[in-house]
């Protein structure tokens, strides 16, 4: 009985143990199943938290440091107005309009002006120049004909000088092409943030970076329409997309954008985010340059600072935000006008502006500067020269990221006129069924060696092959003045006679060279002045062989020509390849009395804090004998008076003295002209990129572009100082023999004192020509 009872107890215990084990097994299984679920969730949560930390670091590290790589901004020369300046009222008004100044009835704000008869009243803009900060000035400029008569303060006394703010002409931007003008909150008109919130993100001040209400609304509208009709991106999301992300349309990118927008708003105040948006948002394209931010867009589209924009202009910029390509005001003005008016209606409905203001703005034209000559323009040919000069002193990273300000010598008005003259010339001379005729122009001031304008091709506003800097072509007769200069340094004078007759020059391997004149004729014994004026080939080669080709090569180097120069006889007639900029360097030395100063386009560089970093002073050295250069320059004046340049001279004012020389390469493939007044020297090349013959000479091609350009601008007569020991004599132009009053075909030429010239037979009183050494110069000026 007892054993049965014990056995029962053991069975009961075993049963309980079995049930307990089953229960434990079920619990362990449930726990295992929970771990299978929660461990991945925990790992996912940890991964997400890590991802948030990464995104948070990405957001804060970039926003706490320098937010943008700031390209170096490049400025043209500022126009300095003073009494006596050769500037008409029309030209000043054109300059002000190019700078975006607004014509008003009574100038009071910076960037405004009015013209009253022969007077222009204006208020300049404040600007930080290389020599210090300049505040806004109220000035009145009076004119007498084509010159400034005086400058006064409006309501005050006379001013010695008024300096306008310089035109922004481009930037040295990084490989991504982004360009911008960064503005602080106090530099942004209050209307812009208000308009952005009304048009792009009404709940900007309430949402945490992502607007759930807007998402729900957009989803409802899009589902109802069966297509995407409305977006829900906040201003913060747009900023994140532009600043951190790409424009790819994927769910992953959209989620990342939302997370980063929330993180951005957790760290930074709304005002800071909105100002970053104003500086970051993409607003258009200018070739390879991407226009970012309202500051640069204001210059690019309206040609003036953001602070000077009026209501209708601000509304247009806000309209462009929706899609800069679709709403490009230069390509699709009607689209922009329609959306601009919608923006104005929204602003009025929200109370940001009054109904009256909105209606008045709606009635205004778009106001976008449609021509490239206004606004934040881009001159690729000139900027290429600037970049080459800066590369010698600055690292590329500094130029593209450090926010430097580069001040240059570009004259925007002259640049525009050079572009117009070349475009008109190639159009006029283009031959049917031929490749596009090309050209290049370089304009410099020979007295300062500053480059004032560069045109690299017929399509001046497009980047690409820069013929002004890189097209090395045979210069033809442009080299002849150097041959004559070598002879003048060697003891010849402009009255020295040289035979323009057939000549046979021995070459290597028993060969010979027999150059011919362009007209196929010989002219006998002629003075040097006539041989150069009429560009006689045979006389030039005979003179060059007498002087020696190596002497000519040495002189070319001293005058500033670099590169390989072979001392071959053919060099005497222009078998020498140079780019237009190199020709400008050569002729600039001749026009400045034989003093060589390297051409320059950069005046100074300023740091982002306004501190001057680099000045570019003149470096001048004497390259040739001033007396010989003086004689040569007067011969180049005769080129324009009597020789191959006389047709160009006929287009200019009769009282203006200019000097110049034509050039044509073999088979009429290249046409050149180089000519100057006192403070302007222009070199023009025309030809085909494939080196096909043009069928035109320098006189009929490039010279026509030069004369068109010089006919457009104010000119000062070329007038070099007379070196000591020089006198003027009268010679017969045809023969070089001495003449007196009423005898032969007299031309006055400078020669060293004591020079004796044989008399023209039957011409009495020729020796009287030596009595007044300076009379010839006064006669030239008259």
Active site residues: 200, 477
d(CA 313, CA 305): 12
Closest to 307 measured CA to CA, from 177, 453, 127, 464:
127
Closest to 234 measured CA to CA, from 269, 252, 210, 264:
210
269-300 burial: b if 16+ Cβ within 10 Å, else e? eeeebbbbbbbbbbbbebeebbbbbbbbbbbb
Q: Is residue 292 a contact partner of residue 70, using CB atoms and an 8 Å limit?
A: no
Q: How far is CA 227 from CA 56, 238, 247, 339, 720, in A?
A: 34, 21, 20, 21, 76
DSSP structure class, residue 509 = G
Is 722 exposed, middle or buried (CB count within 10 Å of its CB: 0-12, 13-18, 19+)? middle
Q: Is residue 64 a contact partner of residue 272, using CB atoms and an 8 Å limit?
A: no
d(CA 257, CA 275): 19
Q: How far is CA 277 from CA 71, 268, 541, in A?
A: 18, 13, 68
Report residue 27 as tokens: 């619990």
* Number of neighbouring beta carbons within 10 Å of residue 782: 8
First to last CA, the chain: 158
Closest to 286 measured CA to CA, from 328, 229, 345:
328
Strands 72-75 and 405-408: parallel
Closest to 56 measured CA to CA, from 246, 270, 240:
240
Gyration radius from the chain CA atoms? 38
d(CA 539, CA 546): 11
Question: Per this entry, what is the length of the chain?
Answer: 782
Please, what is the Cα angle at 446 between 375 and 753, to 5 degrees? 165
Q: Is residue 681 a contact partner of residue 414, using CB atoms and an 8 Å limit?
A: no
The answer for residues whose C-beta is within 8 angstroms of residue 333's C-beta and 6 or more apart is 366, 368
d(CA 525, CA 543): 12
Report residue 622 as tokens: 């004497």
Closest to 413 measured CA to CA, from 136, 96, 132:
96
Q: Is residue 526 a contact partner of residue 734, using CB atoms and an 8 Å limit?
A: yes
d(CA 717, CA 734): 26
The answer for residues whose C-beta is within 8 angstroms of residue 193's C-beta and 6 or more apart is 274, 278
Report residue 374 as tokens: 């206004």
DSSP structure class, residue 307 = G
d(CA 80, CA 416): 19
3-state secondary structure of 653: coil
Report residue 516 as tokens: 């011919």
């Amino acid at each position: 009985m007892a054993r049965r009872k014990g056995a029962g107890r053991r069975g009961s215990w075993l049963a309980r143990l079995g049930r307990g084990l089953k229960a434990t097994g079920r619990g362990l299984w449930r726990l295992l199943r929970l771990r299978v679920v929660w461990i991945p969730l925990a790992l996912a949560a940890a991964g997400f938290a890590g991802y948030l930390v990464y995104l948070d670091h990405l957001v804060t590290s970039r926003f706490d440091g320098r937010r943008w790589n700031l390209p170096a901004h490049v400025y043209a020369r500022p126009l300095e107005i003073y009494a006596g300046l050769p500037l008409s009222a029309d030209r000043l008004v054109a300059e002000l309009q190019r700078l975006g100044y607004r014509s008003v009835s009574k100038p009071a704000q910076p960037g405004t002006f009015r013209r009253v008869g022969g007077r222009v009243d204006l208020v300049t803009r404040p600007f930080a120049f290389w020599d210090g900060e300049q505040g806004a000035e109220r000035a009145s400029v009076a004119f007498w004909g084509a010159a400034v008569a005086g400058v006064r303060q409006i309501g005050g006394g006379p001013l010695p000088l008024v300096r306008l703010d310089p035109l922004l002409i481009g930037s040295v931007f990084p490989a991504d092409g982004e360009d911008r003008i960064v503005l602080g909150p106090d530099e942004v008109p209050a209307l812009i943030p208000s308009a952005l919130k009304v048009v792009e993100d009404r709940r900007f001040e309430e949402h945490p970076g992502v607007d759930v209400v807007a998402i729900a609304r957009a989803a409802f509208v899009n589902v109802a329409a069966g297509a995407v009709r409305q977006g829900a991106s906040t201003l913060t999301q747009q900023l994140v997309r532009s600043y951190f992300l790409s424009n790819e349309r994927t769910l992953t990118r959209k989620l990342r954008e939302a997370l980063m927008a929330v993180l951005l708003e957790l760290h930074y105040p709304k005002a800071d985010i909105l100002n970053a948006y104003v500086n970051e948002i993409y607003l258009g394209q200018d070739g390879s340059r991407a226009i970012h931010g309202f500051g640069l867009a204001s210059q690019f589209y309206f040609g003036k600072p953001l602070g000077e924009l009026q209501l209708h202009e601000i509304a247009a910029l806000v309209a462009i935000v929706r899609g800069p390509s679709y709403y490009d005001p230069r390509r699709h003005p009607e689209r922009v006008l329609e959306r601009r008016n919608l923006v104005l209606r929204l602003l009025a409905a929200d109370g940001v502006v009054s109904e009256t203001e909105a209606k008045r703005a709606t009635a205004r034209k778009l106001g976008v500067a449609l021509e490239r000559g206004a606004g934040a323009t881009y001159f690729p040919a000139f900027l290429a020269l600037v970049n080459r000069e800066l590369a010698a002193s600055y690292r590329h990273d500094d130029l593209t990221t450090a926010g430097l300000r580069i001040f240059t010598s570009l004259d925007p008005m002259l640049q525009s006129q050079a572009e117009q003259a070349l475009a008109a010339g190639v159009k006029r001379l283009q031959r049917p069924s031929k490749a596009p005729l090309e050209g290049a122009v370089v304009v410099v001031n020979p007295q300062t060696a500053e480059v004032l304008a560069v045109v690299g091709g017929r399509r001046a506003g497009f980047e690409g092959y820069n013929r002004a800097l890189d097209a090395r072509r045979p210069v033809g007769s442009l080299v002849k003045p150097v041959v004559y200069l070598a002879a003048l340094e060697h003891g010849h004078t402009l009255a020295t006679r040289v035979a323009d007759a057939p000549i046979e020059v021995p070459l290597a391997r028993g060969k010979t060279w027999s150059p011919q004149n362009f007209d196929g004729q010989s002219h006998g014994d002629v003075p040097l002045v006539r041989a150069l004026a009429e560009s006689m080939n045979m006389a030039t080669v005979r003179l060059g062989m007498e002087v020696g080709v190596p002497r000519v090569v040495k002189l070319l180097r001293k005058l500033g020509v670099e590169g390989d120069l072979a001392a071959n006889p053919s060099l005497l007639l222009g078998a020498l390849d140079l780019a237009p900029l190199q020709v400008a360097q050569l002729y600039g030395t001749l026009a400045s009395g034989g003093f060589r100063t390297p051409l320059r386009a950069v005046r100074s560089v300023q740091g982002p804090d306004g501190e001057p970093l680099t000045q570019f002073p003149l470096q001048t050295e004497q390259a040739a004998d001033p007396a010989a250069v003086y004689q040569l320059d007067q011969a180049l004046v005769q080129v324009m008076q009597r020789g191959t340049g006389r047709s160009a001279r006929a287009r200019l004012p009769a009282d203006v003295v200019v000097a110049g020389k034509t050039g044509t390469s073999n088979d009429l493939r290249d046409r050149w002209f180089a000519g100057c007044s006192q403070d302007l020297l222009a070199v023009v090349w025309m030809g085909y990129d494939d080196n096909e013959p043009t069928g035109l000479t320098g006189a009929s091609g490039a010279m026509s572009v030069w004369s068109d350009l010089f006919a457009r601008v104010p000119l000062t007569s070329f007038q070099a100082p007379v070196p000591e020991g020089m006198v003027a004599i009268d010679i017969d132009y045809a023969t070089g023999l001495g003449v007196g009053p009423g005898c032969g075909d007299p031309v006055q030429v400078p020669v060293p004192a004591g020079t004796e010239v044989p008399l023209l037979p039957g011409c009495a009183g020729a020796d009287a020509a030596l009595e007044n050494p300076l009379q010839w110069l006064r006669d030239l000026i008259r």
